[in-house]
Structure 1
Amino acid sequence: MTGNQVEPATTPYRDWTGTSAAEDSKIAASGSLSELAGVDGTDSTIVAVDMWATSHGAEPDWNVSVFVVDRARGDVRKYEEMMEQGIDPGSLPVRQIDLPSVSLEDVVKCMHHIHFQLKNPSLDGMHIVEHTTYPPQD
Structure 2
Amino acid sequence: MEIRKKDATLLDVATSTYTDWIGTSVAENSMITGSGDLYELAGLDGEPDRWSILGIDVTAFSHGEEPTWSIRFYAADRVELGVKKFEDWGAVAEKHGGVPVVDILLHEADFDDVIKCMKLVGVQFRNGHFKHQLLHSAYADFPEQEA
TM-score (normalizing by structure 1): 0.91
CA offsets, 1:62-117, max 9 Å, x none?
0000000100012212332212x262598211001000111011111110011101
Question: Are 1:125 and 2:129 an aligned pair?
Answer: no
Q: Percent identity?
A: 34
Structure 1 residue aligned with 2:67 = 60
Instruction: Decide whether the 8 Å contact of 1:24 with 1:32 is kept in 2.
Output: no
Instruction: Decide whether the 8 Å contact of 2:36 with 2:113 is kept in 1.
Output: no
Q: 1:77 to 1:125 in 2, by over 3 A?
A: farther
How many equivalent residue pairs?
137
Question: Are 1:108 and 2:79 an aligned pair?
Answer: no
Structure 1 residue aligned with 2:40 = 35
Structure 2 residue aligned with 1:136 = 144
Deviation at 1:124, TM superposition (A): 4.5
Question: Are 1:9 and 2:14 an aligned pair?
Answer: yes
Secondary structure of 2:71 counterpart: strand
* Unpaired segments ≥5 residues, structure 2: none
Structure 1 residue aligned with 2:93 = 87
Q: 1:74 to 1:8 in 2, by over 3 A?
A: same
Secondary structure of 1:82 counterpart: helix
Instruction: Decide whether the 8 Å contact of 1:25 with 1:111 is kept in 2.
Output: yes
Instruction: Decide whether the 8 Å contact of 2:53 with 2:75 is kept in 1.
Output: yes
* Unpaired segments ≥5 residues, structure 1: none
Q: 1:17 to 1:132 in 2, by over 3 A?
A: same
Residue type of the partner of 1:129?
Answer: S
Work out which of the two has the higher radius of gyration on C-alpha atoms and give 1 or 2: 2
Instruction: Decide whether the 8 Å contact of 1:47 with 1:68 is kept in 2.
Output: yes
RMSD: 1.9
Q: 1:90 to 1:15 in 2, by over 3 A?
A: farther
Structure 1 residue aligned with 2:23 = 18
Structure 2 residue aligned with 1:73 = 80
Within 2, Cα distance between the matches of 1:109 and 1:90?
Answer: 33
Deviation at 1:4, TM superposition (A): 3.0
